[in-house]
């Protein structure tokens, strides 16, 4: 794979950051190795509040934060680069350019620690975080057959307010033990990045083995705070609380 040595060097650098933050996968048990990646324009405090909501929903399981830091408006350029990398790499299955987001490397570092220890890993990404974890998995998948075997048997992810186009759901299911996509019709990014999906949300349930839809009340969006796993329509399918068992 072109640039594989550069990607591996980036992962090596990220492993130090992951280690310093105490985020190394600690056990084979999946409940020990759950990670959440926040969306754009979230300072550390808001990201931690979103993490708290995830943890309330999945209690007694506890997720750790892989913080996707914010630069303010430049986040919009970063997310464009994330998306372009996703389209190019998922289409060609070749890493021709370096992954553009540091949080992706931290996620890949956790995946590498997990593979070395054969640990079960669970990941949730919100909005931009959905692209970050998908790209991290994709880049990791393309590095080696050993990584592919590990992802398929030991890694589950859920993307919330997903920015992943439905045409790549099949690849997600191919790469991972379990893959889920949650489209949010009230999130401007989720609708813009998945425009081919949003006009056919009623058919999305069959787009992949684990693809389901998710809605977020508009009044919460207006407050500029994405409350995960709250205000859900009880008639809609949703990620079960035992998803990461």
Average pLDDT, the chain: 75
pLDDT band at 27 (very low <50, low <70, confident <90, very high): low
The pLDDT of residue 164 is 86
pLDDT tens per residue, range 169-204: 899 999 999 998 876 555 555 555 554 443 433 333
Cβ neighbours of 87 (radius 10 Å):
12
Cβ neighbours of 230 (radius 10 Å):
12
Write out the H or E segment, with its range, that includes residue 181: strand 178-182
The pLDDT of residue 41 is 67
**Domain spanning 4-222, CATH architecture:** 3-Layer(aba) Sandwich (3.40)
Where in the chain are the domains? 4-222
Calculate the CA 142 to chain-centre distance: 17
User: How many angstroms separate the CA atoms of 46 and 44, rounded?
Assistant: 6
Structure tokens of 172?
Answer: 């997600």
Helix or strand or coil: residue 186?
coil
Structure tokens of 204?
Answer: 């999305």
**Interhelix angle for 145-154 vs 128-143, to 10°?**
130
The pLDDT of residue 1 is 59
Cβ neighbours of 139 (radius 10 Å):
26
Write out the H or E segment, with its range, that includes residue 123: strand 121-126
């Amino acid at each position: 794979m072109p640039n594989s040595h550069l990607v591996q060097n980036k992962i090596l650098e990220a492993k130090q950051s992951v280690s310093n933050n105490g985020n190394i996968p600690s056990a084979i048990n999946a409940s020990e190795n759950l990670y959440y990646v926040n969306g754009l324009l979230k300072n550390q405090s808001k990201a931690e509040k979103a993490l708290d909501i995830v943890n309330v929903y999945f209690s007694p399981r506890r997720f750790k934060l892989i913080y996707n830091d914010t630069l303010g408006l430049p986040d919009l350029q970063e997310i464009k680069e994330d998306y372009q990398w996703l389209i190019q790499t998922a289409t060609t299955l070749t890493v021709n350019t370096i992954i553009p987001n540091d949080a992706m490397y931290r996620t890949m570092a956790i995946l590498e620690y997990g593979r070395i220890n054969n640990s079960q890993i669970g990941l949730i990404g919100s909005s931009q975080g959905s692209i970050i974890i998908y790209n991290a998995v994709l880049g990791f998948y393309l590095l080696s057959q050993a990584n592919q075997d590990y992802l398929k048997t030991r890694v589950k992810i859920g993307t919330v307010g997903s920015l992943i186009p439905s045409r790549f759901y099949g690849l997600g299911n191919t790469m991972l033990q379990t893959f889920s996509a949650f489209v949010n019709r009230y999130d401007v990014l989720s609708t813009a990045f998945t425009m081919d999906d949003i006009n056919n949300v009623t058919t999305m349930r069959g787009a992949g083995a684990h693809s389901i839809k998710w809605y977020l009340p508009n009044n919460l969006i207006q407050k500029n705070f994405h409350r995960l796993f709250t205000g859900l329509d009880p008639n809609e399918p949703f990620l079960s609380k035992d998803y990461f068992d």
